[in-house]
Each structure stands twice: as C-alpha cells, then as structure tokens.
Amino acid sequence: MQEVITLVIFVLFSSIAFQTQLKLNHLIGFFLLVLAVYFIFKN
C-alpha cells in the first residue's frame, strides 16, 4: 500500500512541478499496480 501512496504523491508532484501530462500508459500502469496490491493483501 505504501508503494501506491508514494506513486500518487510522485505523480502529483511531477505533474505540478514539471507540468507533465498523464498519458494512457501511465493510467494503465497505475491501475495494474493497484490491482497487484489488491491481490497481495487479499485474504
């Protein structure tokens, strides 16, 4: 879960500080990371 929080903060910081745009491959990668965290912590 800590990885997801760190990634969200980094994406927000980089998009504000460097004025970058999120692309579809970024969103797909983020979705897969959240899905991986779900499967790891699933009982």
Nearest alpha-carbon partner for 4 in 20, 41, 43, 25 = 41
Output the pLDDT for position 20: 85
User: What pTM was computed for the model?
Assistant: 0.65
Which residue in this structure is represented by tokens 């912590």?
A: 41
Domain boundaries along the sequence of the chain = 2-41
User: Do the Cβ atoms of 37 and 1 come closer than 8 Å?
Assistant: yes
pLDDT at position 7 is 84
Q: What is the pLDDT of residues 14-34, one digit of tens each?
A: 889 998 888 999 899 889 988
The three-class DSSP label of residue 6 is helix
CB atoms under 10 Å from CB of 22, counted, come to 11
